[in-house]
Structure 1
Amino acid sequence: MVPVEAPYDDRLLHQRVVGGDESALGEVYDRLSSLIFGLALRVTRDRVIAEDITQEVFLVFWERPLAYDPERGTLRAWLATIAHRRAVDHVRAEERRRVSALGPRLFEREPVRLEDTVLAADEAQRVRQAVTSLPDGLREAVELAYFGGRTYRQVGEELGVPEGTAKSRIRLALRRLADALAEEEV
């Protein structure tokens, strides 16, 4: 690896921090804290956690300034690397906590009862019949929105109607479906 020379002010600030100069740490913080915070926020998506990580990064630099080697790169890159690693570690730890909170329940499955399966299949069949009984314009709109995952705007574009019309058709279709299924006690 070819050594990268850090800018002179990085070297000078580093030397001052190594010497215990708190104002040098303040200068580094003023110059780089928004970068560190933004990076941590982008990874964690949590302002409070990003603030904590920002504080931790500068604390690491203050407590162990000799861990930074100006011959290997800029202070900016070194602090950003620490921030990124801490943020990723936090996200991974949160995910582990979330999964472990589910515990054995994650892998346990309730026994599937034949009765429940038959009832669900019967309800699904009744819903399909109710949808097919809708007039074409309403049926197409509700199928695109609910079975096709389209937005009101996309439904309108595909059907060649204004977005408001698509929205009205979907609402009317849902109202008719609800009425028809309520009559069948679904």
Structure 2
Amino acid sequence: MRTERSPDNGRILTHLIGEIAGGNRDAFTEFYRMTSHRVFGLALRMLYSPETAEEVTQEVYLQVWSVAERFDQRLSTPIGWLMMLTHRRSVDRVRSICSATGRDIVYGRTHMDRERDVVVEAVEERHDRRAVLHCLETLTELQRETITLAYYGGLSYPDVADRLGKPVATIKSRIRGGLERLRTCLAGGDHR
């Protein structure tokens, strides 16, 4: 029985990508059948929305169809390449959602008919900042440092790994665990 990580499977996927580059729809269908659960799974873990993960999965496979000829097996495995495409699409979607949310908030604040209570807003903002700082203190030092570098410093996972001298997989794991811990802490509401 072949597993996704078996050399035979890698050769099959590489062959299918070559066929896709030539416009072979049957190869594309087989490639999708063999890999779509991995793409959807990663997108769902990153986006927390089945609907959005489905959209991103569709976008990834449209991209595979369009750029299959650019795949270079010397640089990546087929699954590695596919996961990179999925990660990039998911990050783009998160940024797009955050950007749209930010625009909506700015628009709402500047175009509301009622007057704003500046004091209440300042208190709420200070409370939110205090809650995040409190929850950051509940993380391990490595989790706090990786999240700070990635989200506040704007560094990529490989850049954070280089800076801290740790493997990329360790950095990803620490960030994922730290974000989960932050989410739990912030949802708990005990931030003094």
**TM-score of the superposition, structure 1-length normalised?**
0.53
Question: CA shift at 1:106, angstroms?
Answer: 5.5
* Residues paired across the two proteins, number: 112
Say whether 1:89 aligns with 2:96.
no
* 1:40 paired residue number: 43
The AA in structure 1 aligned to 2:48 is R
In 2, the alpha carbon distance for the partners of 1:63 and 1:104 equals 37
Shift of the 28–100 alpha-carbon distance from structure 1 to 2, 3 Å rule, reads same
Question: CA shift at 1:15, angstroms?
Answer: 1.9
- The counterpart of 1:110, out of the listed 107, 112, 117, is 117
**Kindly, what percent of the aligned residue pairs are identical?**
32
Give runs of ≥4 in structure 1 deviating > 3 Å: 104-109
Per-residue Cα deviation, 1:114-173 (whole angstroms, up to 9, x for no partner): xxxxxxxxxxxxxxxxxxxxxxxxxxxxxxxxxx94xxxxxxxxxxxxxxxxxxxxxxxx
The AA in structure 1 aligned to 2:44 is L
The question of whether the paired residues in 2 share the 8 Å contact of 1:17 and 1:62 is answered with yes
Say whether 1:25 aligns with 2:32.
no
Equivalent positions of 1:52-63 (< 5 A) are: 52-63=55-66
The AA in structure 1 aligned to 2:65 is W
SS of 1:64's partner is helix
The question of whether the paired residues in 2 share the 8 Å contact of 1:68 and 1:78 is answered with yes
Per-residue Cα deviation, 1:29-64 (whole angstroms, up to 9, x for no partner): 011100000101111111111111111111111122
In 2, the alpha carbon distance for the partners of 1:112 and 1:37 equals 44
Say whether 1:98 aligns with 2:101.
yes
Shift of the 24–100 alpha-carbon distance from structure 1 to 2, 3 Å rule, reads same
**TM-score of the superposition, structure 2-length normalised?**
0.51
- The counterpart of 1:79, out of the listed 73, 78, 82, is 82
In 1, the alpha carbon distance for the partners of 2:93 and 2:79 equals 21
In 2, the alpha carbon distance for the partners of 1:111 and 1:12 equals 62
Per-residue Cα deviation, 1:69-111 (whole angstroms, up to 9, x for no partner): 1121111111111111111111111111111111166599635
In 2, the alpha carbon distance for the partners of 1:104 and 1:59 equals 34
In 1, the alpha carbon distance for the partners of 2:59 and 2:28 equals 13
Gaps of 5+ in 2: 1-6, 121-188
Gaps of 5+ in 1: 114-147, 150-186
Shift of the 67–105 alpha-carbon distance from structure 1 to 2, 3 Å rule, reads same
The question of whether the paired residues in 1 share the 8 Å contact of 2:18 and 2:69 is answered with no
In 2, the alpha carbon distance for the partners of 1:12 and 1:78 equals 14
Q: Which protein is bigger by CA-based radius of gyration?
A: 1
- Tell me whether 53-62 or 101-110 shows the greater mean CA deviation: 101-110
- CA RMSD between the two structures: 2.9
In 2, the alpha carbon distance for the partners of 1:111 and 1:105 equals 15
Shift of the 22–111 alpha-carbon distance from structure 1 to 2, 3 Å rule, reads closer
In 2, the alpha carbon distance for the partners of 1:27 and 1:112 equals 59
